[in-house]
Amino acid sequence: MGAFCRAGVIRAGFRMDLAYLLDFLARLAANNTTAWMAGHRPDYQRARAACTELVRQVLAQAATTDPDLAQLTTADVLFRLHKNDRAHRDPEPYKRRMGAGLKRGGRHAPRAGYFLAIQPGLSWLGAGTFHPTPAMLAAMRQEIHYNGAEFHRRRQAPELLRYFPAGLDTTGPQLTRPPRGYAATDPDLAWLRLKTVGLNRFYSDAEVLAPDFVAQVVAAITAARPLVDFLNEAIPDLE
């Protein structure tokens, strides 16, 4: 079938590597210790290579329609597996997923973008910003307040909802009171109270292993781009 297939179709060998990635992460979840990892370093390296190839393909295809992603490398966007901010009560040293933050400037850039995570039974794609700084959040709230009609047009776009049927997530952390400077009667209060501004969609293991998985992820990124661009238009000076 060749090294690549058009429209994001993944070759059989790559599907096998993604199956191995899912299997490794399942075994890691059951044995999440540094000792186990030390004894399975080659397994980790193979799984990491599979995730890297997946992200490389997504970047290469998404960059054809989104110039913000054009100069990124996998090293810019891949997250570490190790929990470097592990809470004292969390005994697990490693995340149960592998993934990447796809946005201009790399995974930690103060911008909205896309987040791809592979985890057995819980793989997902996010679009937006999920840990914005206070300055970012203030700027996005102001943009929603000043340009609400455009915000609602983009978040309700049929193409966006085709790939993210739940729409903008309103179940995450949010203020109990109106943000400072906004009235309790503001018609957009439900959106202004949000502490994260993003969408999520989940993939089953069968969808991850399907031949068109890369194409589906890229199509979802393309559909979400107008909303992500709206958020980034509010914060260009915060980089």
Q: How many CB atoms lie within 10 A of CB 36?
A: 15
| CA–CA gap between residue 218 and residue 116 (Å, rounded) | 11
In sequence order, the β-bridge partners of residue 113 are: 128
pLDDT digits (tens, 9 = 90+) for 114-127: 999 999 999 999 99
Q: Is residue 1 part of a domain?
A: no
Q: How far apart are the first and last CA of the chain?
A: 42
Q: Give the chain's largest Cα–Cα span.
A: 60
Q: Is residue 229 part of a domain?
A: yes
| Token pair in block for residue 14 | 């790559």
Residues in the chain predicted with pLDDT less than 70, given as ranges, are: 1-15, 85-89, 237-239
Q: Is residue 234 part of a domain?
A: yes
Q: Which domain holds residue 118?
A: 6-238
| CA–CA gap between residue 216 and residue 209 (Å, rounded) | 12
Q: What is the pTM of this model?
A: 0.90
Report the candidate in 98, 99, 125 with the shortest Cα–Cα distance to residue 114.
Answer: 125
Q: How many CB atoms lie within 10 A of CB 212?
A: 15
Q: Is residue 80 part of a domain?
A: yes
pLDDT digits (tens, 9 = 90+) for 180-222: 999 999 999 999 999 999 999 999 999 999 999 999 999 999 9
Q: Report the domain count for the chain.
A: 1
Contact between residue 84 and residue 100 where contact means Cβ atoms under 8 Å apart: no
